[in-house]
């Protein structure tokens, strides 16, 4: 186990709250805590049992005053998150109290933790691997139950186990290559080795490809779907946003141009997070402010994963409607025929000429909220195709993991190409070893120090 100095940080969000936590980790954590906290009776921090929570008071020894009434969790190594001695001082959640306790801990010899340093120590001390460490932050940032399940699966080692299975499969081929290189006089051995390597590379490619095929669903669950709500003025865009959010977030009037800028909100539909962008009505206008809003709306369309295009079915298609249908033709989109509570005027044949086979057509009324459930189901089917229900599947969601697997697949292509051309076994070994190293970067078994520094710097303080 690595030996580090003792670190301290506030592990709860700053602000008013019921509880604040100051966490210490390291060889001197218990000693420092004992200087800060007086427990009731004859007990001291160093004498209480591990994994207990104890009542006491934090004392400012210099001033001789009580800082706060606290509960202190004492956890001895190695059965802790960092595999070091860990102390958590649970105090009242005001900003002043937690900051003062942290200051006292630093005065007694602790060092202020760097972002993600607690999790980094857990990784360096072998408590978790790198993919599990990244899952900790994914868990903190999860925007839906499904995203939380995804992060928990990775934290529990689902992805790590898959990667280690792949690397273990490589060992047979790599060992066979080593034997062949050590005994080059046997031509038959090289032929057998090439056959083993080819079989292994084909098997690995199938498994990696399957993981990559699932990465799209994983990324959606983790990051959400960028969803632009578009349409000409007064077709019901802001009303749709309010209905989906179940609150009056956007101003709704009969006056065209009421929404003059994009409004962004996040919701969850059938376990899938959506980043909704209510755009300004796209039309020609001389209003400078509205022009800026229209430009932002057009940008939102270009950057979106999904377009919800609203049309007023109680009116004929306007030139603006037709321009939007053309502009979004190559995007994933759902065409929403709104205002079904009014008599239908829109010509279906004319609309059909602008539709793709992949388009979903939903009829809605924002007034009666008719069609909203059908819209939510269409979004789920369009992106997840029912796969979101497969809780036992290892979904990839991390862009770093996905890129490394793609590079590993390319290395396997090079292996197979080398076998096909009967190149030297030592050259094939280079490509197979490269694949081995790339997979090792996912779990941290072959990760450079620069990568570790970059990854953990993205964590919050106290985590």
Q: Please name every residue paired with 225 in a beta bridge, in sequence order, or none if there are none.
A: 274
Contact 438, 408 (CB under 8 A): yes
CA distance 180 to 419: 15
363 and 230 housed in the same domain: yes
pLDDT at 20: 92
Residues of the chain below pLDDT 70: 1-3, 143-147, 183-192, 214-223, 247-262, 280-297, 384-397, 451
- pLDDT tens by residue, 106-119: 999 999 999 889 99
CA distance 101 to 107: 10
CA distance 437 to 441: 6
Q: 175: which 2 tokens?
A: 């060992």
What is the layout of strands, in order, in the sheet containing 272-278? 263-269, 272-278, 225-230, 306-312, 333-338, 360-363
Q: Please name every residue paired with 25 in a beta bridge, in sequence order, or none if there are none.
A: 7, 86
Assigned domain for 68 exists: yes
- pLDDT tens by residue, 9-37: 999 887 788 899 999 999 999 999 999 99
260 and 382 housed in the same domain: yes
pTM given for the model: 0.65
CATH number for the domain harbouring residue 98: 3.30.1360.120
210 and 229 housed in the same domain: no
pLDDT at 176: 79
CA distance 459 to 134: 9
Cis peptide before 78 (omega within 30 of 0): yes
- The domain total for the chain is 3
Assigned domain for 452 exists: no
**Residue ranges of E strands in 76-188:** 86-92, 111-112
| H/E element, 52 | strand 52-60
pLDDT at 255: 39
**Residue ranges of E strands in 182-260:** 225-230
158 and 282 housed in the same domain: no
337 and 291 housed in the same domain: yes
| H/E element, 299 | helix 288-303
Buried b (16+ CB within 10 A) or exposed e, 110-120: beebebbbbbb
327 and 280 housed in the same domain: yes
Assigned domain for 335 exists: yes
The domain containing residue 26 runs over which residues? 7-129
- Contacts of 324 by beta carbon, 8 Å cutoff, 6+ apart: 230, 231, 232, 282, 309
Last residue of a domain, one of 345, 374, 389: 389
CATH number for the domain harbouring residue 344: 3.40.50.300
**Residue ranges of E strands in 234-328:** 263-269, 272-278, 306-312
């Amino acid at each position: 186990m690595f030996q580090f100095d003792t670190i301290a940080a506030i592990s709860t969000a700053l602000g008013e709250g019921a509880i604040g936590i100051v966490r210490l980790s390291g060889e001197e954590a218990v000693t420092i805590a004992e200087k800060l906290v007086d427990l009731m009776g004859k007990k001291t921090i160093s004498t209480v049992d591990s994994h207990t929570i104890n009542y006491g008071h934090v004392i400012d020894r210099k001033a001789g005053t009580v800082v706060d009434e606290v509960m202190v969790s004492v956890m001895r190594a190695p059965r802790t998150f960092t595999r070091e001695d860990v102390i958590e001082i649970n105090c009242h959640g005001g900003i002043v109290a937690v900051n003062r306790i942290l200051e006292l801990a630093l005065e007694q010899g602790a060092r202020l933790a760097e972002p993600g340093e607690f999790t980094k120590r857990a990784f360096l001390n072998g408590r978790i691997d790198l993919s599990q460490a990244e899952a900790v932050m994914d868990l903190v940032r999860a925007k839906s139950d499904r995203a939380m399940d995804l992060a928990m699966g990775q934290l529990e080692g689902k992805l790590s186990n898959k990667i280690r299975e792949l690397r273990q499969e490589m060992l047979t081929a790599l060992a066979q290559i080593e034997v062949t290189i050590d005994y080059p006089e046997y031509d038959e051995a090289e032929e057998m080795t090439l056959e083993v390597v080819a079989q292994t590379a084909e098997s690995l490619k199938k498994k990696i490809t399957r993981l990559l095929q699932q990465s799209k669903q994983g990324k959606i669950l983790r990051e959400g779907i960028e969803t632009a709500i578009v349409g000409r003025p007064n077709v019901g865009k802001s009303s749709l946003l309010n209905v989906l959010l179940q609150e009056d977030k956007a101003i709704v009037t009969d006056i065209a141009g009421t929404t003059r800028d994009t409004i962004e909100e996040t919701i969850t539909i059938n376990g899938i997070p959506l980043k909704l962008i209510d755009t300004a009505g796209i039309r020609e206008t001389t209003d400078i402010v509205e022009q800026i809003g229209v430009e932002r709306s057009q940008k939102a369309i270009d950057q979106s994963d999904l377009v919800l295009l609203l049309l007023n079915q109680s009116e004929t298609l306007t030139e603006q409607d037709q321009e939007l249908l053309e502009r979004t033709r190559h995007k994933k989109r759902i065409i929403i025929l709104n205002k079904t509570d009014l008599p239908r005027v829109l010509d279906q044949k004319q609309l059909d000429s602008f539709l793709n086979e992949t388009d979903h057509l939903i009829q809605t009324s924002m007034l009666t909220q008719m069609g909203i459930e059908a819209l939510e189901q269409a979004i789920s089917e369009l992106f997840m195709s029912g796969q979101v229900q497969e809780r036992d599947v290892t979904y990839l969601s991390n862009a770093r993991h996905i890129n490394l697997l793609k590079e590993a697949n390319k290395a396997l292509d090079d292996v197979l190409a080398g076998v096909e051309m009967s190149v030297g076994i030592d050259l094939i070994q280079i490509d197979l070893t490269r694949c081995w190293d790339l997979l090792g970067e996912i779990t941290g078994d072959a990760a450079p120090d620069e990568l570790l520094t970059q990854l953990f710097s993205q964590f919050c303080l106290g985590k």
